[in-house]
Amino acid sequence: MASNTTEDLFKNIISHSKEYGFIFQSSEIYDGLSAVYDYGQNGVELKKNIREYWWKSMVQMHDNIVGIDAAIFYASYYLKASGHVDAFNDPLVDNKDSKKRYRADVLIEDHVAKIDAKITKEVEKARQRFGESFNEEQYRSTNPRVMEYQQKIDAINTRFKAALEANDLVEVKQIILDLEIVCPISGTRNWTDVRQFNLMFNTQLGSVSEESSTIYLRPETAQGIFVNFLNVQKTGRMKIPFGIAQTGKAFRNEIVARQFIFRMREFEQMEMQFFVRPGTEDEWYTHWKEKRMTWHRSLGFPLNKQRFHDHLKLAHYAKAACDIEFEFPFGFKELEGIHSRSDFDLRNHEEFSGKKQQYFDPELNENYIPYVVETSIGLDRMFLAIMSQSYVEEKLEDGSERVVLRIPPFLAPIKCAILPLMKKDGLPEKASEIFDKLKFDFIVTSEEKDSIGKRYRRQDAIGTPYCITVDHQTLEDNTVTIRDRDTMAQERISIDEVQRILREKVDVNTALRKL
């Protein structure tokens, strides 16, 4: 079904992800576990390639950043130190008619986003009207209607920020009522009181159930980095500024987990904690904001797909924080967070553990607890961003249609498909000879079934950048046709050239060099 609306588009991306082995609902045969997903044969490759691109750009490209892989179980005392046991909450509210549960902050943010969308619409209309001479800044600061919308947004944000900072849940509910926000299902304003809900999953270590044996599944990977800060600094003889990177699973008992893999209960993060001299954190915060945006832009998606968004309310640890937002089919949403965390975490770990978490700075000849700037991105969200940006429904010149995943070639699950034209005359044998040659360097696949046109479509649908067709001429002169996924152009080349072409076109280093 063609995507006429963004809603259709999102539905089609979800069904495409399943149909082509990217993402399956977890425990599907038992009716599924809500907000938990499994990655299929193509999904696992794409996910691995994104993770690897991130890892290389952080660890391999910086001689002052190293990686670790810490445990998923977190002891309760170190989550107490990090503030998670007491403050890792989301405000929830139920609609009494639909019995649906919502995050109160998200209801308000979505309301603000709707007003913001009206501003964008006005601005776009004016841009078309005025053409080249349009001055957006001036328009936003002088057009009465836009100014009125903006004042509304500012007033809501100020009130909401104050309520959150004072942890005043009665006021949060009052804001929802005053804004006349209705439940999208029941359409009513019949809301319960707003309550705080802790998002962490816990379990017991060993057989005795007492408070000290409660452990948590980590809600973020960062704390595993903090508690290993001195281990890495000492054994790696690291000098400040330096970073520690980590990728791995995190777990949150999300109140509202819709929107496919955007918000999951079990997900993967890619985080980097950068330890700096106190007083230099603002500089590094700006540095990492720019660096991370460059990383996103290196994928070649349109520039207006990403934007920065400063946090209204800072988390319990943060000194400054912003998000890199991506325009998903359901609107601009957080993809990555960049946080200036001060010395909050290390200072608390020092206090709770009684062990000094300090660094001796030889240049200053003094000890201090370093400040931290963190970059934190969800791997699954990045996956969804790439899927939603790459998924294209195309009408071809001959009137037929195809779905093509325009995944950046270096991230594509399969780099090349080898397709013998027929299942006879020695063509499959020749194809498997080529497979054996390429398999050491690339993930390649070989397919014999169905017409060549159908096989091309299947490869387009999983984003394979190149297809090689083996035909009778191949047996005579050792040449094949290579077909480009995006242009569909075909070229006859010598088999000996294939490796070089693939290496040039799908090499991750080309992307890394642009960073």
Residue (269 or 348) nearer to ligand ATP, CB: 269
Q: Which residue has the tokens 């397709």?
A: 419
Closer to ligand ATP by Cβ: residue 16 or 381: 381
- CB-facing half-sphere around the CA of 499: CA atoms within 13 A: 9
Rounded to whole angstroms, the Cα distance separating 415 from 45 reads 11
Q: Classify residue 454 as exposed, middle or buried by CB count within 10 Å of its CB (0-12, 13-18, 19+).
A: exposed
Q: Does 322 sit near ligand ATP (CB under 6 A)?
A: no
According to the 3-state scheme, what is the secondary structure of 83-132?
CHHHHCEEEEEEECCCCCEEEHHHHHHHHHHHHHHHHHHHHHHHHHHHHH
Q: Is 272 helix (H, G, I), strand (E, B) or coil?
A: strand
Nearer to ligand ATP, 379 or 506 (CB): 379
Q: Could you tell me which residues come within 8 angstroms of residue 300 by beta carbon, excluding any fewer than 6 positions away?
A: 408
Asked if 224 touches ligand ATP (CB under 6 A), the answer is no
Q: Which of 171, 334, 361, 393 binds ligand ATP (CB under 6 A)?
A: 334
Measured from the CB of residue 359, what is the shortest distance to ligand ATP in angstroms? Answer: 25
Among 376, 389, 446, 469, binds ligand ATP (CB under 6 A): 376
Q: Three-class SS of residue 423?
A: coil
CB 449 within 8 A of CB 507: no
- 55: nearest Cα among 246, 290, 268, 285: 246
Specify the stretch interacting with ligand ATP by CB under 6 A; choose among 114-122, 164-172, 372-380, 458-466: 372-380
Which residue lies nearer to ligand ATP by CB, 96 or 101?
Answer: 101
Residue 242 φ/ψ, nearest 5 degrees = -150, 165
Single-letter residue type at 455:
R
Choose the stretch contacting ligand ATP; rule: CB under 6 A; options: 132-140, 262-270, 413-421, 458-466.
262-270
Q: How far is the CB of 411 from ligand ATP (least distance, A)?
A: 17
Q: Report the alpha-carbon distance of residue 431 to residue 471 in Å, rounded.
A: 9
Minimum Å gap between C-beta 41 and ligand ATP is: 22
Rounded Cα–Cα distance for residues 339 and 277 (Å): 16
Task: Name the residue nearer to ligand ATP (CB basis): 161 or 277.
Answer: 161
Q: Is 373 in the site for ligand ATP (CB under 6 A)?
A: no
Which of 252, 289, 292, 455 touches ligand ATP by CB under 6 A?
252
Q: Which residue is nearest to ligand ATP (CB)?
A: 378
Q: Which of 70, 264, 416, 467 binds ligand ATP (CB under 6 A)?
A: 264
Select from 64-72, 168-176, 374-382, 459-467 the region that touches ligand ATP (CB under 6 A).
374-382
Q: Is residue 266 a contact partner of residue 374, using CB atoms and an 8 Å limit?
A: no
Query: How near is the Cβ of 254 to ligand ATP at its closest, in Å?
Result: 5
Per-residue contact string for residues 193-222; x = within reach of ligand ATP by CB under 6 A = ---------------------------x--
Report the C-alpha gap between 380 and 103 in whole angstroms. Answer: 21
With CB under 6 A as the contact rule, the residue among 111, 173, 263, 292 that binds ligand ATP is 263
CA 243 to chain centre: 20
Q: Does 50 bind ligand ATP (CB under 6 A)?
A: no
In the complex, which residues of this chain contact ligand ATP (CB under 6 A)?
A: 220, 252, 254, 263-264, 267, 269, 334-337, 376-378, 380-381
